Chains A and B, each alone.
Chain A
């Protein structure tokens, strides 16, 4: 590997940072969901990088991060499905997709 490990690690940190920034600043619920996916993806990239550089002696060890990413993607898909269903329900009930207008629990 001629690529230094700092490049993919720094890239995933930047990707996570931009995703965090977007998820905290934008109020559209669908967009917040998209930034959550981007942040999960950055975490996957981090796992794959560390596994590739430090834990790839045998094929079994080298596939550990792949399996972890597989589970992360499963959870991300389930989260996107349920989250979009909740957002659609919110749109039908309240006519808005703005997360800061969903204040039904505020009393």
Chain B
């Protein structure tokens, strides 16, 4: 009887489940990642964040998915949870820890944090509360219109706190609100600040400079803008049903809005990446990659690429409820390995440019101490 030799080169989980036979794709691939067209053992290359304390303050690193989130900038390390926003600063051989959410008592943060990395004036936005540093007052403020918790004067008391905020070339970009208002609803608003300061159109902007502005996306009133994230020459704004590309234009200096398509996300963390590429888990659990293309006129435009994997990712987006902060799918980009952890607190996948696999660790935040350049203590 003749015998045949057959070789299979496994390449990660299958992008769709249409039942092809004999493909190199897998239906289970646990604790591996695809690297150089092979599968190697991998659960996530990281050290456990240590317990930190200074004086009477101890940083609560208890995992309460999708918290704690970790950010860092020249103003220190920020560890954000449902009840705390710790700022860790290292100076003259000493660490100091300050809770910038200490004044916001009696309320929990369920919506995830987003961070605008502005040197000297960092800003954090959850749909529950806005936290910002006012350089003029030399003070941190917390603002929550829903609970009549007002702080500072640089954000209008008639506005709800934004769902997401980011820094794009020296301007704050803030989008959405979790609370629907009378037409036009603040859930669909995009605001951009003065250049270099936390000043907003219709409130504290310098109107002579004609830099700050706002617009509403042309969408159904059910649309909520959930995330803004810089990509190449502009900012991608992700909503519940659509995504948009906000690109700067001159004469006068302002922004124009292009519709990317019907890619909607379930919560602000369902997209991750850097200025070169975004990875998105849409509301149907489909994975997308968004990267800039260049048209013949040398203008960037955004072309989403459908990657699939609904079979594995749809269970992650089911049960996602940002209002209670439960079951939220989160995409955390590990730029040092160029990989993305896609997790909902109970299941975790790892995506890189070679494929998708499952790993044991649900990652809510990453920090490279070498990059932060903190001295050893």
- A is bound by B: no
**Contacts from B to A (Cβ < 8 Å):** none
**Contacts from A to B (Cβ < 8 Å):** none
